[in-house]
Amino acid sequence: MVDRIAAASDALDRGDLESAEELGRAALTDGNPLSARLVLAQALAWQGRGRDADAVLAEVDPSTLNETDLLSWALPRAANQFWMLDEPERATAFLRATRARVATAPAGATIDALLGTFAMNAGSPARAMEISGRVLASPDADDQAVGWAAAAAALCHARMGSFGDVDDLAMRAVAAGHPGLLRFTGAFGQTTAAVLGGDLGRAQELADGLVRAADPGPSRAIGEVLVADVLLWRGDADGAVGLLEGAAATLAPTGYSWGPLAWMSLAYGLGQLGRTADAGRMLARAEARHGLKSMLFAPELSLAKAWTAAARRDVHGAIDAAREAARAAERGGQSAVALRALLDAVRLGDVRAGDGIARLGVDCVVGRLALDYGRALTARDASGLSAASAAFAGIGMHGVAADAARQAEAAGQR
């Protein structure tokens, strides 16, 4: 029995989900142990078979479990409900009910850490940071709790425009020894902070490293989403689309929040390439898959709409969608994401976006360059736009540089 469960776990680690499922089912015949159900449910969930995974876990009577086993059973069941079944409200209620049943502080901290991750994905990064901060300050938090809390805090800090602690939080998450998909959450915070700090080379290196270290399947696809994001910042929409087409297809059946983000990013890149029909199809897929579990990325959905509209030469629609992306980001406290939206608005020709960038006050390299760019566009200042183009080219943002150069040429002809 133990050997079968160990073999199933090894198969999971290799990404061999079919073998993990087969071995997990075989282990069930050896006495129906909880550990066999846990590994089998994970194998099923990773194949996108959330209903099957939930059925396996539903056979357990929680009243018969001690606190340790209750936690081992409840956490994956809640995660499966949140992501794979796309039932975030049910998952949160279930986890809170379980929280009321545990007596020890370490168990409570672990549940709180997952609740914080749920809050982040549901579009409440400030609430997630509040919960994660309590967990990370607790002497009772175990490694699993620290891993979840630190990874969520790293991404929330980055998207909220507070970059100073991002690297330390991401490294703390990995050092906790429960990396799993958490390494991508923390790394997305790191790549976001690096890009906005003007260090696109470091962002690319971090993202590429994740792909090299990942097994085939969902893990590698998530890494490719991060690489593609950096490529989009660089202005390499062709390269980003090439990665995202495969990554989105791989992630589609999994239920992870990364899946909707992949479709959003794909529509964004296709729109920048002017592939109107393809961008529209991918945008429709993104909209169909987006929900509460991916609400953190609601601004990215609006940006995908903006570039899809731009591909149709609908300038007003594109600017309106970029403004909505900025408003959505600000409502959620995601100042750094609002900066990206307003920078895109400037690229699309929004002469009012500079005021929004100034109001945000996100202190970073890209924020300062974006403010100069926005002000130059408002003033129709050809020399200022040329200077902005050169500055963005200097940090490797060649797509922004090309748009600013085009606008400088137009301003010079007035």
pLDDT, tens digit (0-9, with 9 covering 90-100), for 30-77: 766 888 899 899 888 877 788 999 999 999 999 999 999 999 999 999
Task: Give tens-digit pLDDT for 161-218.
Answer: 999 999 999 999 999 876 567 889 999 999 999 999 999 999 999 999 999 988 788 8
d(Cα 77, Cα 40) in Å, to the nearest integer?
12
Contact 269, 308 (CB under 8 A): no
Task: Give tens-digit pLDDT for 265-276.
Answer: 999 999 999 999
Q: 141 with 227, same domain?
A: no
Domain region containing 230? 199-291
Q: 271 with 222, same domain?
A: yes
Strand, helix or coil at 166?
helix
Q: 175 with 204, same domain?
A: no
Residue 303 is assigned to a structural domain of this protein? no
Task: Give tens-digit pLDDT for 389-403.
Answer: 999 999 999 999 999
Residue 243 is assigned to a structural domain of this protein? yes
Q: 191 with 252, same domain?
A: no
Over residues 352-359, the mean pLDDT reads 97
Q: 158 with 179, same domain?
A: yes
Task: Give tens-digit pLDDT for 226-260.
Answer: 999 999 999 999 999 999 999 999 999 888 899 99
Last residue within a domain, chosen from 69, 99, 127: 69
Residue 306 is assigned to a structural domain of this protein? no
Over residues 80-100, the mean pLDDT reads 93
Those residues with Cβ within 8 angstroms of residue 349's Cβ, 6 or more apart along the chain or in another chain: 315, 319, 377, 407
Residue with tokens 């309106």: 320
Residue 309 is assigned to a structural domain of this protein? no
Q: 126 with 59, same domain?
A: no
Residue 81 is assigned to a structural domain of this protein? no
Q: Where are the alpha helices (DSSP H) in 102-139?
A: 105-121, 125-137
Handedness of CA 158, 251, 207, 282 (dihedral sign): negative
Residue 96 is assigned to a structural domain of this protein? no
* pTM of this structure: 0.93
Handedness of CA 111, 115, 121, 127 (dihedral sign): negative
Q: 155 with 222, same domain?
A: no
Q: What is the pLDDT of residue 31?
A: 67
Q: 228 with 254, same domain?
A: yes
Q: What is the pLDDT of residue 1?
A: 45
Q: What is the pLDDT of residue 180?
A: 66
Last residue within a domain, chosen from 145, 170, 198: 198
Last residue within a domain, chosen from 236, 268, 291: 291
Q: 25 with 13, same domain?
A: yes
Residue 311 is assigned to a structural domain of this protein? no
Domain count of the chain? 4
Q: 235 with 162, same domain?
A: no
Residue 121 is assigned to a structural domain of this protein? yes
